[in-house]
Amino acid sequence: MAKMTMVQAINLALTQEMEKDDSVVVLGEDVGVDGGVFRVTDGLIGKFGPERVIDTPLAESGIAGISIGMAVYGLKPVCEMQFSGFDYLAFHQLESHAARLRWRSQGRFRVPMVMRAPYGGGVRALEHHSESREAYWAHTPGLKMVIPSSPRNARALLVSAIRDPDPVVFYEPKAVYRAFREEVPEAEETIPIGRSQLVREGRDVTLISYGATMHPVLEAASLLKERDGVEAEVVDLLTVSPLDDSLFTQSVKKTGRAVLVHEAPRSFGPGAEIVARLVEKSFLYLEAPIARVTGFDVIIPLYQREREYMPGTERILRAARETLSF
């Protein structure tokens, strides 16, 4: 298997799906001639032409609205927003139309579209370029919210998202885009949307995360083993909505302790929903309060303070140790 970055793995998913299915089209700002702001769509216009790889004006609402029309017409649009910090401009189209058309038409119309957007901090970007707005979309009935954490699961999840009959918001952690390489099979591979994965087994505490923060979480789990003799179990959500609570609930029933990690702001974030599910389904198994390590309830700072905002390994270690010593 070839070792790929996440950028290359997502490009592979788009290429293979476009080769298999003529109804798959890619559109967005600079996705064609320039190959995308992060070069995720590099080379697609040369293989599939400007009728299937379409450069659009800088207008997120228009990109989403056009994609909805394409999807209802019978195409499978994969649209790209250059940064998640600007995708709120498409919120009206997605919330009022994409998420509702199947319900509104009593099943006569579906919207098989994917909205891709790089999200999160870690690359020292400007304002509106580092936001983590997954809670907006996860809170909207009718939308699915997917966030991969590595090249291999990004490729497999994007294939599933493109084939999904309903709208999927697909956030890509840009801090991971070129951070490391991973073996990605050339043959087709999918991961079902709505399933989480157990990526490390343990017995003492459960660490739950997704996307870019999976990496400090795994580093913290290794350090807990090395320095404290603690076996941390790690769950990667992969899909924020619909949330697969069966795996992390079972894990916490075994360990009795949980730490949730995400870089989105703390209040009303995905961690709050996970805490609620754990209290509902595993309350009698808990041996310590559930801890959250998150971003803060502020606008994500510019690069000079970005490191302090992000949930790093030391913050995760501190929360896990406090939970274990309760």
Q: Is residue 162 exposed (0-12), middle (13-18) or buried (19+ Cβ within 10 Å)?
A: buried
Buried b (16+ CB within 10 A) or exposed e, 218-235: bebbebbeeeeebebbbb
Burial of 142 per CB tally in 10 Å (0-12, 13-18, 19+) = middle
Q: Which residues are catalytic?
A: 129
209 three-state secondary structure: strand
Task: Using the CB atoms, write b or e for 71-101: b if 16+ within 10 Å.
Answer: bbeebbbbbbbbbbbbbbbbbebbbebbbbb
Say how far apart CA 217 and CA 269 lie, in whole Å. Answer: 18
